[in-house]
Structure 1
Amino acid sequence: MDKKKLRYAILKKLDVNEDNVTADYFGITGKEFFENVIFLDREGYITKPMYGSNMVYGMGLSRITEKGENYLEENSKLSKGYKVAKEIRDWIKF
């Protein structure tokens, strides 16, 4: 999955206060999820992800920051891709 699209999708899920923000939800490896969550935290787009030992343990306390909100606005064209990816994922559920 494209990093920008994944980061957008993570921010979007946090923005609407969904608590199912996991690697499994996005269909990616734990390592990919960890790297992108760490990036979002380090760059100030989100707060309080619970992680350690190269693993994200929880996003329940995480919130999107003002910088994250601005990212969503500036990259709203990714919203179309996010909606399509979400619909496809829902169709493919096993």
Structure 2
Amino acid sequence: MNRKKIIYSILKEVQEGNEPKAVDYELSQGEFADIAQIIKDEGLLSNVAIAGGRIVWLNASKITLKGIEYLEQNSPLSKTYRGLKEVRDWLKL
């Protein structure tokens, strides 16, 4: 699992108004919650809700300035990222 790519994708999708889910990345709810917790702890998104360490809500989340900076620092990923529909193949690159 490439957490850096998953974090990039989650931030990008939230920035575009989408709500990524664990199933989009073929992750368990717990794995997705762990990554969401990292995003929350690092202040990359606001309004990240996590319940019981397994359920994640990103529908009210907004990207923060720190999140935008993360996307900019990882801009080489943007050259190959094509969105959630192709995220599983992209993660394998």
TM range (shorter): 0.7 to 0.9
Q: TM-score, normalised by structure 1?
A: 0.82
Structure 2 alignment gaps of length 5 or more: none
CA contact (8 A) 2:22 2:28 kept: yes
Runs of 4+ aligned structure 1 residues displaced above 4 Å come to none
When residues 85 and 50 of structure 1 are mapped into structure 2, their CA distance, relative to the original with a 3 A threshold, is closer
CA contact (8 A) 1:49 1:56 kept: no
Structure 2: which amino acid aligns with 1:28? L
Distance 1:83 1:26 in 2: 14
Structure 1 alignment gaps of length 5 or more: none
- Give the 3-state SS of the residue equivalent to 2:81 in structure 1: helix
Larger RCO, structures 1/2 (Cα 8 Å, 6+ apart): 2
Q: TM-score, normalised by structure 2?
A: 0.83
- Give the 3-state SS of the residue equivalent to 1:60 in structure 2: coil
Map Cα deviations across residues 10-56 of structure 1 (whole Å, 9 max, x no partner).
0000111113x110112211111101110011111011112121123
Aligned residues: 89
Report the aligned-residue RMSD: 2.1
